[in-house]
Amino acid sequence: MLRLQAPLPDRYTLATADELESWIRAAKQARGDELLILGHHYQRPEVIRWADQRGDSFKLAQFAADNHQATDIVFCGVHFMAESADILTADHQRVVLPDLNAGCSMADMADIDQVEEAWEEIAAVTDIGRLVPITYMNSSAALKAFVGEHGGAVCTSSNARAVLEWAFTKGDKVLFFPDQHLGRNTGHQMGYDESHMRVWDPHHDLGGLDERAVKETTFLLWKGWCTVHQRFQTAHIEQFRAEHPGGEVIVHPECRHDVVEIADKVGSTERILEWVEAAPPGAVLGIGTEIHMVQRMASEHPDKTVVSLDPLVCPCSTMFRIDEPHLAWCLESLVRGEIVNQIVVPEATAAWSRVALERMLELTGQPAPARVD
């Protein structure tokens, strides 16, 4: 998806690190409780240090919704995360993304036109009433609205199994987007094998499948992936285990299935953090997730050895676009009363997205954030 971030004024691009620090600090003080800076776990250190709350995308959106005093939410994450925050927060709260080019390559692999087209193609060859659409949190608001309107739900990496189990009480097959790996890994966890799964390639007629495959498949998995997590290979795990006999391998479920299959533990970013925190002193942990998060866990737990499974650095390049110059620019603009880079989800889309998110919360037994308009 094309998004255009206007170039920053020279004041920010030419600023020294000390200047940026003092401007951000002053802006935070000036806005007080009305400002909330949210930092995703994958953010670079010089940005995350300013966050009032760290978390994964859904936790941060809920945190913003629960903090009604904050009118300006600066989301140091990527575009779909800011959209989710706008969907869940009240009308008096504005969500700002410091750099509009901070998208998510995985979320961008499924756009609403492609999904609507896929839905029509599948409807032409099978009973669409038995197909339940499920979208991962890492998707645009338009896709969340689509699943809300078509009887489906959103899922996160920690509740994907519960959401898919619910889906099979509503139908007998799912269209899962945009991450094929989370869908496949969860399907395997539920006892299905590859014969129940097919990849839907949106760039081919009927997803590159034949009619029979579409009719018979239980999991239609959208051909999307995370450029960060797909990098991890089984060879990385073998190398780590050779170097650290007794070490533990923990990976994210956006990793490929062969990687997930041989890992010791598989969990969301929040679960990975919990496991690292709970590990005893002296533990050696090889982690398969974004490098900034791995490096932060390593520095915050000096009594443990926490390393990335991939010896080459693997940052989330879109998240990396959020830097101190953009943060300082948007904060100083807010102090002047000027709203830049506000992310606004149209109300009709937001309403159906909330339906999909509330279904997820209900079936996983979590309370929905209270919107105070």
Which residue type is seen at 127?
A: D
Write the CB contacts of 277 (distance below 8 Å, at least 6 apart in sequence): 301
Whole-angstrom distance, CA of residue 149 vs CA of residue 262: 38
Of 78, 122, 197, 331, the residue at the interface with ligand SF4 (CB under 6 A) is 78
Q: Both tokens of residue 370?
A: 């209270």
Q: Which helix (H) or strand (E) holds 135?
A: strand 131-136
* In the complex, minimum distance from the CB of residue 254 to ligand SF4, in angstroms, rounded to a whole number: 6
If binding is defined by CB under 6 A, does position 102 make contact with ligand SF4? no
Write the CB contacts of 351 (distance below 8 Å, at least 6 apart in sequence): 145
Footprint of ligand SF4 on 141-200 (CB under 6 A): none
Q: Are 224 and 138 in contact (CB under 8 A)?
A: no
Whole-angstrom distance, CA of residue 144 vs CA of residue 351: 10
If binding is defined by CB under 6 A, does position 101 make contact with ligand SF4? no
56 versus 248: smaller Cβ distance to ligand SF4: 56
Window contacting ligand SF4 (CB under 6 A); options: 145-153, 170-178, 223-231, 255-263: 223-231
104 versus 249: smaller Cβ distance to ligand SF4: 104
82 versus 355: smaller Cβ distance to ligand SF4: 82
104 versus 360: smaller Cβ distance to ligand SF4: 104
Write the CB contacts of 329 (distance below 8 Å, at least 6 apart in sequence): 8, 9, 12, 98, 340
248 versus 254: smaller Cβ distance to ligand SF4: 254
With contacts defined by CB under 6 A, how many residues of the chain interact with ligand SF4? 13
Residue 276 C-beta-side C-alpha neighbours within 13 Å: 31
Q: Prior bond to 178 cis, omega within 30?
A: yes
If binding is defined by CB under 6 A, does position 104 make contact with ligand SF4? yes
* In the complex, minimum distance from the CB of residue 270 to ligand SF4, in angstroms, rounded to a whole number: 14
* In the complex, minimum distance from the CB of residue 142 to ligand SF4, in angstroms, rounded to a whole number: 17
3-state secondary structure of 345: coil
Footprint of ligand SF4 on 339-368 (CB under 6 A): none
Whole-angstrom distance, CA of residue 233 vs CA of residue 226: 14
**Residue with structure tokens 């609403």?**
112
Whole-angstrom distance, CA of residue 158 vs CA of residue 156: 5
Q: Which helix (H) or strand (E) holds 228?
A: none
If binding is defined by CB under 6 A, does position 56 make contact with ligand SF4? no
Window contacting ligand SF4 (CB under 6 A); options: 24-32, 211-219, 273-281, 316-324: 316-324
Site string for ligand SF4, 266-295 (x = CB under 6 A): ------------------------x-----
Write the CB contacts of 296 (distance below 8 Å, at least 6 apart in sequence): 41, 45, 48
Of 96, 142, 319, 328, the residue at the interface with ligand SF4 (CB under 6 A) is 319
Window contacting ligand SF4 (CB under 6 A); options: 101-109, 115-123, 190-198, 205-213: 101-109
139 versus 217: smaller Cβ distance to ligand SF4: 139
If binding is defined by CB under 6 A, does position 318 make contact with ligand SF4? yes
Which residue type is seen at 170?
A: K
Of 226, 293, 322, 361, the residue at the interface with ligand SF4 (CB under 6 A) is 226
Q: Prior bond to 253 cis, omega within 30?
A: no
Window contacting ligand SF4 (CB under 6 A); options: 6-14, 122-130, 224-232, 257-265: 224-232
Q: Are 339 and 320 in contact (CB under 8 A)?
A: no
- Cα three-residue angle 188-193-194, rounded to 5 degrees: 110
Of 167, 249, 250, 316, the residue at the interface with ligand SF4 (CB under 6 A) is 316
If binding is defined by CB under 6 A, does position 227 make contact with ligand SF4? yes
Residues that bind ligand SF4 (CB under 6 A): 42, 78, 104-106, 138, 226-228, 290, 316, 318-319
